[in-house]
């Protein structure tokens, strides 16, 4: 009986958050190390499906860096990065598109549909969903086929999300020349959330959130402001792959997203624990 009462208490704790989010859009960036464990991936898919069933409109943006790197290695194509961004040659771009749209995207769609969701896989080339221009060199380093987002076609996402579907987006953009361009998935998630003025943007990563001390797992900051984030970047505390995430948080907040979250996606049910409990488990970035 105590176990049943505990479960009932959990449901009542979630009730006000469900009411607050009903009918609202939540953008979820899923990728990297959150994809490695099949068991954890299953709980994330369950979280996303449950969101849809309780009236929330989830939109998934996925990455797939480790799988891309693995495939490039198998084909003897070198992987190079600069400031957290993959340098993408034409040869590498073909592999990136194949892995992201042909494998990972469809795997996620299949998992969500198996759980009772109605997921639809998309990339930026579908209905010109993500229009980009070639990114200018950074510090003189040419990133190749890496795109800078110019426009998000909100209409197609709004039609799908407000109906019974769960859009699943691969971070491939279409350039003015019609070619495919690689885009950092964190950047895509931030731009999509901003364009839709989503209620929440959630980044699933492999750390518990933003830390005051990168080496101390107990130093996670529960709530941080945009100004404080910039200060941590200047001090070199926020570095590497975390920079696109926090910049995605900042940009989306400045353009109308209410709350952004950086959450450890390597634990079971990270989405439900963050948004449907009083304490949460990660870092929430606010204005």
Q: How far apart are CA 260 and CA 159, in angstroms?
A: 23
What's the domain range around 110?
24-286
Q: What is the CATH number of the domain that holds 216?
A: 3.40.1160.10
Asked if residue 159 has pLDDT above 90, the reply is: yes
The answer to whether residue 15 is domain-embedded is no
- pLDDT surpassing 80 at residue 244: no
**Tally of structural domains, the chain:** 1
- pLDDT value, residue 40: 86
Q: Give 281's pLDDT tier (boundaries 50, 70, 90).
A: confident
- Hunting for tokens 């003015």 — which residue is that? 176
- 29: in domain: yes
Mean pLDDT for 12-22 is 87
Q: Which percentage of the chain shows pLDDT scores above 90?
A: 55
In a domain, 3, yes or no: no
User: What values do phi and psi take at 285, rounded to 5?
Assistant: -100, 125
Summarised one tens digit per residue, pLDDT across range 93-103 is 999 999 999 99
From the list 30, 18, 21, 11, the residue with the least C-alpha distance to 200 is 21
On whether 182 is known to bind a ligand per the annotation, the reply is: yes
Of 204, 208, 126, 111, nearest to 172 by C-alpha is 126
Q: Which of 194, 203, 202 is nearest to 257 (CA)?
A: 194
Query: 60-64, 77-81, 98-102, 197-201: lowest mean pLDDT where?
Result: 77-81
Contact between residue 248 and residue 201 where contact means Cβ atoms under 8 Å apart? yes
64 assigned to a ligand binding site:
yes
- DSSP conformation class of 136: P
Say if residue 36's pLDDT is above 80: no
Q: Does the annotation list 86 as a binding residue?
A: yes
For 82-123, how does the pLDDT look when each residue is reduced to its tens digit (9 = 90+)? Answer: 877 889 999 999 999 999 999 999 999 999 999 999 999 999
pLDDT band at 34 (very low <50, low <70, confident <90, very high): low
Question: 3-state SS of the chain: helix, strand, coil percent to 5?
Answer: 45, 25, 30
Q: Which two tokens stand for residue 141?
A: 């380093």
Is 199 a member of any domain? Answer: yes
In angstroms, the CA 207 to CA 205 distance is 6
């Amino acid at each position: 009986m105590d176990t049943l009462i505990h479960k009932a208490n959990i449901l009542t704790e979630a009730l006000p958050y469900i009411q607050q989010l009903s009918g609202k859009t939540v953008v979820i960036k899923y990728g990297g190390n959150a994809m490695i464990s099949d068991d954890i991936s299953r709980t994330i898919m369950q979280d996303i499906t449950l969101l849809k069933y309780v009236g929330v409109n989830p939109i998934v943006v996925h990455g797939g860096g480790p799988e891309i790197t693995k495939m490039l290695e198998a084909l003897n194509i070198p992987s190079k990065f600069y400031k957290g961004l993959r340098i993408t040659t034409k040869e590498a771009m073909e592999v990136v598109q194949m892995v992201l749209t042909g494998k990972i995207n469809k795997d996620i769609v299949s998992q969500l549909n198996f759980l009772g969701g109605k997921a639809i896989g998309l990339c930026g080339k579908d209905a010109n969903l993500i229009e980009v221009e070639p990114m200018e060199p950074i510090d003189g380093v040419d990133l190749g086929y890496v795109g800078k987002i110019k426009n998000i076609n909100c209409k197609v996402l709004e039609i799908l999300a407000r109906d019974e579907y769960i859009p699943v987006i691969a971070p491939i953009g279409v350039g003015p020349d019609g070619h495919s361009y690689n885009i950092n998935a964190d950047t895509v998630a931030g731009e999509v959330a901003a364009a839709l003025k989503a209620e929440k943007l959630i980044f699933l990563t492999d750390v518990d959130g933003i830390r005051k001390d990168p080496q101390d797992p107990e130093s996670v900051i529960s709530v941080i402001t945009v100004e404080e984030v910039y200060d941590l970047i200047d001090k070199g505390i926020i570095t590497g792959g975390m920079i696109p995430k926090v910049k995605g948080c900042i940009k989306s907040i400045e353009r109308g997203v209410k709350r952004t979250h950086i959450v450890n996606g390597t634990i079971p049910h990270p989405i439900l624990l963050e948004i449907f409990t009083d304490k949460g488990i990660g870092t929430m970035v606010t204005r």
